[in-house]
Amino acid sequence: MTDVLPPLNAVRAFVTAARHQSFTLAANELHVTHGAVSRQVKALEAHLGVPLFERRTRQVSLTVEGLRFYTQAEAALRQIAAAAQSAMARDDMPVVRINVRPSFAVRWLIPRLPDFVARHPGIEPHVLTSTRPPDQAPDRFDIAIRRGHADWPPSVRLHPFLDDHICLVASPALIAAHAVTEPVALSALALLEARTRRGDWQAWATHAGVRTLKPAGHMMFDHVHLVLQAAIDGLGFAVATMSLAGSGLASGQLRCPFPELRVPVGRYYYGIASDAVPEVQTFAAWLDAQLAMQQVGSA
């Protein structure tokens, strides 16, 4: 069979030229020169031993043999292309769409996702970050994670998830350099704050009995994960939720100098959409398992 099989590059050049009835247009489509197309067609004609085109000045047309060969060769090339696409395509895996706020994605969810992928390689988690409440979500989701009961679509089934509180954090080097052993020492440092949680500092300061304390400086950021990165880099101190600061505290990048001064904040819930894919139950069970592991680790 291989002895009579023509060169495929020549077949492709011929089919393209036959479709356009022009070597020039075929050359443009294939991104080669007119001469290259002409040479490929001549090589194919030599291999087959029959003329495929009648050549006239600035015009070519198929011979009877050329039309017969074009009809079958064009269909064969389409079949080869379909076979290649089928070989390259993988079976679609089920996708679980997870709607979370950006900071929760960066500081809590994404660091844990490798565990989910390793345990459930047949499910693709797609993380959709949004600052909008779930009832205003721009994209369809299977599961969403947010604080509190408010602003959920009525069709979503809510499940209690993560208890949380705020604490004061800073880099260990900054705490050591400024001898932060009492809250009043914070007056020599800059406060790092997120626009989305502007009340946390006053809540913590009131709880700590230093409501009138004024930090030496103030830096504002759009999201909490940016605040925490700034704190890790030693730009100042922050009052942040333990859910988001926890990984930095566990790694030693952050330290809480006053662990007893923690203020409870709203609880997280996850909500499962009524039209969610069945695989969302696997993801929800994984969330609950992660929470159980976190509680054991902090006990």
What domains can you pick out in the chain, each with its CATH number?
Answer: 8-88 (1.10.10.10), 95-163+267-298 (3.40.190.10), 164-265 (3.40.190.10)
CB 245 within 8 A of CB 167: yes
Name the pTM for this structure: 0.66
**Could you tell me what percent of the chain has a pLDDT over 70?**
95
**pLDDT, position 1:** 47
**pLDDT, position 166:** 95
Specify the higher pLDDT residue, 84 or 111.
111
Tell me the residue length of the chain.
299
**pLDDT, position 84:** 76
Calpha distance 244→246 (Å, rounded): 6
CB 153 within 8 A of CB 141: no
DSSP class of residue 234 equals T
Q: Residue 56 pLDDT more than 90? A: no
Nearest to 142 by CA among 273, 286, 281, 278: 273
The average pLDDT across 44-69 equals 89
The average pLDDT across 169-195 equals 96
Query: What are the distances in angstroms from CA 298 to CA 51, 108, 220?
Result: 82, 15, 30
Specify the higher pLDDT residue, 75 or 232.
232
Q: Which two tokens stand for residue 240?
A: 């942040």
Q: Residue 91 pLDDT more than 60? A: no
- Band of pLDDT at residue 75, cut at 50, 70 and 90: confident
CB 248 within 8 A of CB 232: yes
CB 41 within 8 A of CB 23: yes
Q: Residue 87 pLDDT more than 70? A: no
Strand residues in 86-202 grouped as ranges (E)? 95-100, 124-129, 143-147, 157-160, 164-169, 190-194
Cβ neighbour number for residue 96 with a 10 Å cutoff? 24
Cβ neighbours for 220, distance < 8 A, ≥ 6 positions apart: 193, 194, 195
Nearest to 145 by CA among 117, 122, 112, 194: 112
Strand residues in the chain grouped as ranges (E)? 53-56, 59-62, 95-100, 124-129, 143-147, 157-160, 164-169, 190-194, 217-221, 237-241, 263-265, 268-272
